[in-house]
Amino acid sequence: MEIDVFTLFPAAFGWFARQHHVVSALAHGHALGYVNYRDHTPLRAGQVDDTPFGGGAGMVLRVDVVEAALRARYGIDPVVLPERRRVLALAPSGQLLDESLVSELAAEPALTLLCGRYEGFDERIIEHFSSGCLSIGRYVLSGGELAAMVVVDAVLRKLPGALGDATSPVEESFSTALEGAPEYPHYTRPADHRGWRVPEVLLSGHHARIREWRLAQSRSRATGRPLP
């Protein structure tokens, strides 16, 4: 899979790009690239945004700047881009990311993520250059970069090679193996810490009973665990 992230802050991805599963995914032939809108702006002094028509606070990412960046990267008029690859603008108003959408995105051959900043995008970017908007939750971040990392992280771990042979994402939270429920609790040594004992069944070596217990635990978490 080929993922391109369009951003004003490619340096924000430095730590993320060094993480083991990202490095492994890239070593297995997947690609993750960054395009800085500012490198392609046709405007003077690196301008990329402007004040909103009609007034209001903040700055809006300009449609001509995003068009120039997309053209530079793909060499085509970006209005046809969504026919060739999924182009997703990251915005709090978008479709909420969940595990089934992550699987859908992981099946794409190529993905383009557009990060907004400040007040977000000129709406014409979304209307004409994107396949739609994607949100990681109903709250407002200062920009799309953290959201893009969330999306790329969740997508990459679905791809062959990202987690290595020893680890499998088959039986993890929200997988069909767990009937779409969150994962069961895990324990490791020591088996007893301050009298907090690991459930006996996990020490029993009885695989069928362990599996049954884990499924029951998963099901009991199906609606999430509310904060007290």
Interface with ligand ADE by CB under 6 A: which residues? 90-92, 116, 135-137, 139-141, 144, 147
What distance in Å separates the CA atoms of residue 221 and residue 137, rounded to the nearest whole number? 20
What distance in Å separates the CA atoms of residue 218 and residue 208, rounded to the nearest whole number? 15
SS3 84: helix
Contact between 12 and 141 (Cβ < 8 Å): no
Nearest distance in Å: CB 76, ligand ADE:
25
Nearest distance in Å: CB 117, ligand ADE:
9
Token pair for 5 = 């992230």
Token pair for 107 = 């099946």
Q: Which is nearer to ligand ADE, 92 or 180 (CB)?
A: 92
Nearest distance in Å: CB 108, ligand ADE:
18
Task: Kindly give the pairing relationship between strand 49-50 and strand 60-61.
Answer: antiparallel
Q: DSSP 3-state helix, strand, coil percentages of the chain (rounded to 5)?
A: 40, 20, 45
Maximum C-alpha span of the chain: 70
Nearest distance in Å: CB 168, ligand ADE:
29
Q: Which is nearer to ligand ADE, 97 or 162 (CB)?
A: 97
Q: Which is nearer to ligand ADE, 68 or 136 (CB)?
A: 136
109 preceded by cis ω (within 30°)?
no
Cα torsion through 186, 150, 25, 15, rounded to 10: -100
Q: Which is nearer to ligand ADE, 78 or 94 (CB)?
A: 94
Contact between 152 and 32 (Cβ < 8 Å): yes
Q: Which is nearer to ligand ADE, 124 or 206 (CB)?
A: 124
Q: Which is nearer to ligand ADE, 146 or 210 (CB)?
A: 146
Nearest distance in Å: CB 116, ligand ADE:
6
Nearest distance in Å: CB 163, ligand ADE:
25
